[in-house]
Amino acid sequence: MEINERFRLIRENLDLTQAAFADKLGITKASVGAYEEGRALPNHKVLVALADLAGISIDEIIRGTETGTSERTSFSSKPIPLVPIKAAAGYQKGFPDAEYVKELPQFYLPTLGNGDYRAFEISGDSMPPLQSGTIVVGERVGRLTELKDGDTYVLVTKQDGIVYKRVFNYIKDNGKLFLVSDNSRYKPYSIDPMEIYEVWSARAYISVDFPKSGFNKKQIDVSV
């Protein structure tokens, strides 16, 4: 397999369009097309960014995998750091420190593929059906302009700590974000972007509370 094919394979494993892939690598969509079609070769700067994004070495990109597994499965997920409720206050100060993050509990969710993920144990009842203690797995949002109105995000903030809310982006209108709870007992509120340290787009959740079903015992045919 040539480098252009591996370049394309990495993008497909990350489930990114050419435009989104280009944005993450800091290049143009046209460059992505040229690399994937073999009309040009990525320079060292692009290879470094690609290796960091995919969680593999530059040597693997250039020469391919040397393991017995297929190339598709060789691009496995990185371990995901977990921020428990009891560590929330410390995370507000420690999140920029790579060594601090490495000390957090780690786990894998291979179905997510590659990416920059973090998991947060949420508290409270503001976002039903998720209960307090549910773990929300988020993918890092690089720029606030990437936020999509109505989607759910974990935000690490200066004032309120770690919050999980539905976000509406009004930065262009009044310079603020609007945070909304799914529980109507909690009033929506705005937040200044300068108060936000990190934003993680909700991608999955883990909970020991199974959702209630609509099963009724009367559905059972007792004659069987």
58 and 111 inside one domain: no
Domains contained in the chain, number: 2
Residue 176's pLDDT band (boundaries 50, 70, 90)? confident
Task: Say which CATH number the domain at 141 has.
Answer: 2.10.109.10
C-alpha to C-alpha distance for 220 and 178, rounded to whole angstroms: 47
Tokens encoding 72: 């598709």
Strand 196-206 with 152-157, pairing: antiparallel
Tokens standing for 193? 């972007």
Percent of the chain with pLDDT over 70: 83
- Quote the domain boundaries for residue 19: 3-74
Instruction: Give a yes or no: residue 141 inside a domain.
Output: yes
Place of tokens 């200066």: 158
Question: Is 217 within a domain?
Answer: no
Confidence of residue 215 (pLDDT cuts 50, 70, 90): low
Q: What is the pLDDT of residues 180-196, one digit of tens each?
A: 999 999 999 999 999 99
Bridge partners for 83 per DSSP: 120
Q: Is 41 contained in some domain?
A: yes
* Same domain as 202, residue 122: yes
Same domain for 69 and 90? Answer: no
- Cβ-based neighbour number of residue 15 at 10 Å: 12
Average pLDDT over residues 49-58: 84
pLDDT, residue 224, reads 46
Taking alpha carbons only, the member of 24, 29, 77, 20 closest to residue 49 is: 24
User: Does residue 221 fall inside a structural domain?
Assistant: no
Distance of alpha carbon 74 from alpha carbon 82, whole angstroms:
24
State the pLDDT confidence band at 62, using cuts at 50, 70 and 90.
confident
Residues 157 and 98 both lie in one domain: yes
Last residue of a domain, one of 48, 74, 100: 74
Contact 69, 59 (CB under 8 A): no
Residues 11-24: tens digit of each pLDDT: 888 888 999 999 99
